Amino acid sequence: MTRSIAILGRRGRDLDDLAAALSARADSRSEIVWVPDAGALLERLRGGDPPALVVVDYAHGDGRLDARAVLDRIRSFDRELPVVVVAAHADVDLVAEAVRAGATDFLVRGERLPDRVATLLGKLDRLLRLRERAEDAARQLRAARFHMVGSSRAIEQVRERIARVAPIPRPVLITGERGTGKELVARAIHAASGPATRPMVAVNCAAFAEGLIESELFGHEKGAFTGATHTVPGRFEQADGGTLFLDEIGNMPVAFQKKLLRVVEYGTCTRVGGRAEIAVAVRIVSATNVDLAQQIARGGFLADLHDRLAFETIHLPPLRERGEDLGALADHFLDLLGQEIPALRGKRLSATALAALQRYPFPGNLRELKNILERAAYRDTGAEIDAEDLGLGTPIPVVAAPVVAASTHAAPAGPASGRCADGKGTFREQVAGLEHGLLVDALRAAGGNQAEAARQLGLTYHQFRYYARKHSVE
């Protein structure tokens, strides 16, 4: 990785000599850059492109500000950036003054300048290696804290958002396909936002019928309904002082959404059958794999509630967009399995198995990967899991469906090569056309209701959604 050494100030004989000495002694990873003044340097720092080292002439500063003022501006923004002051001579008082002003080191011009530059660059190299190790350790600590495996840019952005929003006591909405780890992110936000003694309560909103979810979240008083033999606090009360995780928020009935909106706005709830308002200090983290914008457009979700729940939105990428993380994730899941079942310890993927996983679309994401690996480790009799052990086939098994003519539907575009002699397309293209037609016809027959279309085809809702996305069927 290239690292830059910034010389601050206007070019002249003294700085040109210094640049030549730096160029002669620096290794191939280093480049010398000229920065006209302190303002330009600060702009570079703000843009996230800090140099590895800054050199400042103590006598002339940057040509506008003296060296002490330049050092003060640098240190007000970055206290760790290595800054070396260069001067024609040095004495104890001058060096002490420069260090007090914020200099990391002091360099004296003269006949021995090349040797002094070599010593300086040697110290810089050791310092940078220490900083890189510290940054790696910090990244590993953050990853361990958030229990997130992987180093892809997509997952790094998720970590950054978690770290940024965790200290802010506002609602967070987590979006992403099923199996991407939304509850993991919710728990990471909770863990990073305060003491571990605070409660965290998780509720799957899709698991309760419309008449039960209010009692589940708000609680009920004794005698509120048949069977209510005693007062039961709701999940909001149980999570008081901590975090309430509302999973599958997109499946919540609209009538109840209006009641939830009041709790989010005013911080109070009323038990079923009760009259007193109960104050609750709860941070709400919600999650959904449903497109809430479409839900709002269809009247299935309240726009006001979405606004209140989405102070920050964290989108989890599907596993197929995290190909570079697959190796680390596989090792992680196999290690967890080995800890649980000692007889299966030490299992690892072969290169062909990893390549097979990287070609697989993972409609079930992390959850599916974990299940695939556990079954493969069980099947495999050696230490290395081969591609055959993975048992990868059709991502989601297709249940027998009614025969529906699909000849009127054009098959999605496919490769031009390998077509059948009759011109109908390759085998894969014809299968894709049939699947596309089945989906479209079922949707039309169901009046656009995807759940009903899935039932007509003998698919689960999630299976239907997978194939609809695959064939771009809206």
3-state secondary structure 223-258: CCCCCCCCCEECHHHHCCCCEEEEECHHHCCHHHHH
Angstrom distance (rounded) from CA 98 to CA 85: 7
Give the separation between CA 124 and CA 455, rounded to whole angstroms.
66
- Cα–Cα distance measured from residue 324 to residue 318, given in angstroms and rounded to the nearest whole number: 12
The predicted pLDDT at position 408 comes to 40
Q: Which residues touch 130 (CB under 8 Å, ≥6 apart)?
A: none
Question: Per-residue pLDDT for 459 more than 70?
Answer: yes
pLDDT band at 10 (very low <50, low <70, confident <90, very high): confident
Q: What is the pLDDT of residue 417?
A: 41
Query: What's residue 413's pLDDT?
Result: 43
Angle, in degrees to the nearest 10, between helices 113-146 and 153-165: 80
Mean pLDDT of 430-453: 82
Domain residue extents for the chain: 3-137, 153-315, 319-390, 396-474
- The H-or-E segment that residue 216 falls in is helix 210-218
Q: For residue 345, what are the CA distances in angstroms to 153, 337, 389, 418?
A: 30, 7, 16, 44
pLDDT, average across residues 389-401: 57
User: What is the CATH number that goes with domain 319-390?
Assistant: 1.10.8.60
Q: Are the C-beta atoms of residues 453 and 464 closer than 8 Å to each other?
A: yes
Would the CATH topology of 3-137 be identical to that of 153-315? yes
Model confidence over 299-311: pLDDT tens digits? 999 999 999 999 9
**Closest by CA position to 160, among listed 200, 198, 192, 128:** 192
Top-level class of domain 396-474: mainly alpha
Lowest model confidence (mean pLDDT) among 337-341, 364-368, 428-432:
428-432
pLDDT number for residue 395: 52
Q: Left (φ > 0), alpha (ψ -120 to 50) or beta: where does 8 sit?
A: beta
Cβ-in-10-Å burial (0-12, 13-18, 19+) of 51 comes to buried
In this prediction the pTM is 0.55
Cβ-based neighbours of 314, under 8 Å, separated by 6 or more? 158, 161, 162, 165, 172, 173, 174, 175, 185
Residues in the chain: 474
User: Where does 3-137 sit in CATH, by number?
Assistant: 3.40.50.2300
Expressed in percent and rounded to 5, the helix, strand and coil fractions of the chain are 50, 15, 35
CATH superfamily of 153-315: P-loop containing nucleotide triphosphate hydrolases (3.40.50.300)
Q: What is the pLDDT of residue 403?
A: 36
- Mean pLDDT, rounded, for 96-111: 85
What average pLDDT score do residues 230-258 get?
Answer: 90
pLDDT value for 400? 35
